[in-house]
Protein backbone atom coordinates (compact mmCIF):
# COMPACT_ATOMS: atom_id res chain seq x y z
CA UNK A 1 0.00 0.00 0.00
CA UNK A 2 1.46 3.35 -1.03
CA UNK A 3 1.61 6.50 1.09
CA UNK A 4 -0.79 8.14 -1.37
CA UNK A 5 -3.33 5.33 -0.86
CA UNK A 6 -2.92 5.65 2.92
CA UNK A 7 -3.45 9.42 2.73
CA UNK A 8 -6.60 8.96 0.62
CA UNK A 9 -7.99 6.37 3.06
CA UNK A 10 -7.43 8.51 6.15
CA UNK A 11 -8.69 11.83 4.72
CA UNK A 12 -11.86 12.91 6.46
CA UNK A 13 -12.50 9.67 8.37
CA UNK A 14 -14.39 10.33 11.58
CA UNK A 15 -16.58 7.27 12.11
CA UNK A 16 -15.22 3.71 11.74
CA UNK A 17 -14.85 2.91 8.08
CA UNK A 18 -14.16 -0.32 6.22
CA UNK A 19 -10.75 -0.20 4.54
CA UNK A 20 -8.84 -2.49 2.24
CA UNK A 21 -5.95 -2.78 4.64
CA UNK A 22 -4.71 -5.77 6.56
CA UNK A 23 -3.68 -5.81 10.19
CA UNK A 24 -0.06 -6.33 9.08
CA UNK A 25 -0.24 -3.25 6.80
CA UNK A 26 -1.65 -1.17 9.64
CA UNK A 27 1.16 -2.30 11.96
CA UNK A 28 3.75 -1.42 9.29
CA UNK A 29 2.29 2.04 8.56
CA UNK A 30 0.87 3.00 11.98
CA UNK A 31 -1.76 5.56 11.01
CA UNK A 32 -1.74 8.30 13.63
CA UNK A 33 -5.01 8.86 15.49
CA UNK A 34 -6.56 5.51 14.55
CA UNK A 35 -6.82 1.97 15.82
CA UNK A 36 -7.55 -1.04 13.60
CA UNK A 37 -10.49 -3.21 14.62
CA UNK A 38 -11.99 -5.96 12.45
CA UNK A 39 -10.99 -4.39 9.14
CA UNK A 40 -12.02 -0.87 10.16
CA UNK A 41 -10.06 2.24 11.00
CA UNK A 42 -11.48 3.47 14.29
CA UNK A 43 -10.66 7.10 15.15
CA UNK A 44 -9.30 7.68 18.63
CA UNK A 45 -10.83 10.41 20.79
CA UNK A 46 -8.71 13.56 20.76
CA UNK A 47 -7.13 13.94 24.20
CA UNK A 48 -8.31 16.66 26.53
CA UNK A 49 -5.91 18.59 28.76
CA UNK A 50 -6.71 16.42 31.79
CA UNK A 51 -6.27 13.28 29.66
CA UNK A 52 -2.80 14.42 28.58
CA UNK A 53 -1.91 15.45 32.12
CA UNK A 54 -2.85 12.00 33.47
CA UNK A 55 -0.85 10.29 30.70
CA UNK A 56 2.24 12.37 31.50
CA UNK A 57 1.99 11.67 35.23
CA UNK A 58 1.56 7.94 34.68
CA UNK A 59 4.41 7.55 32.18
CA UNK A 60 6.72 9.67 34.36
CA UNK A 61 6.38 7.33 37.33
CA UNK A 62 6.14 4.11 35.31
CA UNK A 63 9.18 4.93 33.18
CA UNK A 64 11.32 5.82 36.19
CA UNK A 65 10.47 2.55 37.94
CA UNK A 66 10.97 0.46 34.78
CA UNK A 67 14.35 2.06 33.99
CA UNK A 68 15.68 1.86 37.56
CA UNK A 69 14.83 -1.84 37.69
CA UNK A 70 15.77 -2.61 34.05
CA UNK A 71 12.41 -4.28 33.43
CA UNK A 72 11.71 -3.18 29.85
CA UNK A 73 10.18 -0.02 28.37
CA UNK A 74 7.22 2.27 28.89
CA UNK A 75 5.40 3.64 25.84
CA UNK A 76 2.80 6.31 25.11
CA UNK A 77 0.21 5.57 22.39
CA UNK A 78 2.38 2.95 20.70
CA UNK A 79 0.62 0.46 18.43
CA UNK A 80 0.27 -3.14 19.60
CA UNK A 81 -1.17 -6.19 17.90
CA UNK A 82 -3.89 -7.34 20.28
CA UNK A 83 -5.45 -10.46 18.79
CA UNK A 84 -6.82 -9.41 15.41
CA UNK A 85 -6.72 -5.73 16.34
CA UNK A 86 -4.12 -2.99 16.43
CA UNK A 87 -4.68 -0.93 19.58
CA UNK A 88 -2.92 2.09 21.03
CA UNK A 89 -3.19 2.20 24.81
CA UNK A 90 -2.58 5.61 26.33
CA UNK A 91 0.38 4.18 28.25
CA UNK A 92 1.90 0.71 28.04
CA UNK A 93 4.70 -1.38 29.48
CA UNK A 94 6.59 -4.06 27.57
CA UNK A 95 9.00 -6.33 29.42
CA UNK A 96 12.52 -6.80 28.10
CA UNK A 97 11.62 -10.18 26.57
CA UNK A 98 9.02 -8.47 24.33
CA UNK A 99 11.41 -5.87 22.95
CA UNK A 100 12.25 -7.62 19.71
CA UNK A 101 11.61 -6.84 16.06
CA UNK A 102 11.63 -3.66 13.99
CA UNK A 103 11.42 -0.50 16.11
CA UNK A 104 9.99 1.40 13.12
CA UNK A 105 6.69 -0.52 13.20
CA UNK A 106 4.08 -1.35 15.78
CA UNK A 107 4.59 -4.14 18.29
CA UNK A 108 3.50 -7.56 16.94
CA UNK A 109 2.50 -8.52 20.51
CA UNK A 110 0.16 -7.14 23.16
CA UNK A 111 1.69 -5.07 25.96
CA UNK A 112 2.31 -6.63 29.38
CA UNK A 113 0.48 -3.68 30.94
CA UNK A 114 -2.07 -1.52 29.09
CA UNK A 115 -3.28 1.71 30.66
CA UNK A 116 -6.34 3.42 29.23
CA UNK A 117 -7.42 6.87 30.38
CA UNK A 118 -11.16 7.36 29.98
CA UNK A 119 -12.11 10.30 27.77
CA UNK A 120 -15.38 12.23 28.09
CA UNK A 121 -16.57 10.72 24.80
CA UNK A 122 -15.82 7.10 25.80
CA UNK A 123 -18.71 4.71 26.35
CA UNK A 124 -18.28 2.62 29.52
CA UNK A 125 -19.10 -0.77 28.00
CA UNK A 126 -16.62 -0.11 25.16
CA UNK A 127 -13.86 0.63 27.68
CA UNK A 128 -14.62 -2.57 29.62
CA UNK A 129 -14.79 -4.58 26.39
CA UNK A 130 -11.41 -3.20 25.33
CA UNK A 131 -9.91 -4.24 28.70
CA UNK A 132 -11.07 -7.82 28.11
CA UNK A 133 -9.75 -7.77 24.53
CA UNK A 134 -6.31 -6.95 25.95
CA UNK A 135 -6.54 -9.71 28.58
CA UNK A 136 -7.76 -12.33 26.10
CA UNK A 137 -4.81 -11.52 23.82
CA UNK A 138 -2.23 -12.04 26.58
CA UNK A 139 -1.91 -8.68 28.36
CA UNK A 140 -1.29 -9.40 32.04
CA UNK A 141 -2.74 -6.20 33.54
CA UNK A 142 -5.05 -3.45 32.33
CA UNK A 143 -5.57 -0.25 34.29
CA UNK A 144 -8.52 1.97 33.39
CA UNK A 145 -8.09 5.45 34.83
CA UNK A 146 -11.11 7.73 35.01
CA UNK A 147 -10.07 11.33 35.72
CA UNK A 148 -13.66 12.49 36.28
CA UNK A 149 -14.40 10.02 39.08
CA UNK A 150 -10.74 9.86 40.15
CA UNK A 151 -10.81 6.06 40.06
CA UNK A 152 -8.60 3.28 38.76
CA UNK A 153 -10.08 -0.08 37.80
CA UNK A 154 -7.56 -2.92 37.56
CA UNK A 155 -8.20 -5.93 35.33
CA UNK A 156 -5.88 -8.87 35.88
CA UNK A 157 -5.30 -11.84 33.60
CA UNK A 158 -5.88 -15.32 35.01
CA UNK A 159 -2.36 -16.05 33.76
CA UNK A 160 -0.66 -13.24 35.67
CA UNK A 161 1.18 -13.91 38.90
CA UNK A 162 -0.46 -13.09 42.21
* Fold for the domain defined by 49-156: tt1808, chain A (3.90.1570)
Cross-strand bridge partners of residue 29:
none
Q: What is the pLDDT of residues 18-54, one digit of tens each?
A: 677 889 998 888 888 889 998 888 888 888 899 999 9
What local confidence, expressed as pLDDT, does residue 9 receive?
A: 46
Radius of gyration of the CA atoms of the chain, in A: 16
Q: What is the pLDDT of residues 87-114, one digit of tens each?
A: 999 999 999 999 988 888 889 999 999 9
Q: Where are the domains of the chain?
A: 3-43, 49-156
Amino acid sequence: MTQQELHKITQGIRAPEQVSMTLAEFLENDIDGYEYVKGELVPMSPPTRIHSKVNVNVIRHLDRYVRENQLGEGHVEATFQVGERALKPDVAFVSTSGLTGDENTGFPIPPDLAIEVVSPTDVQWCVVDKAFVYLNAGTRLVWVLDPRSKTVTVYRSDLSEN
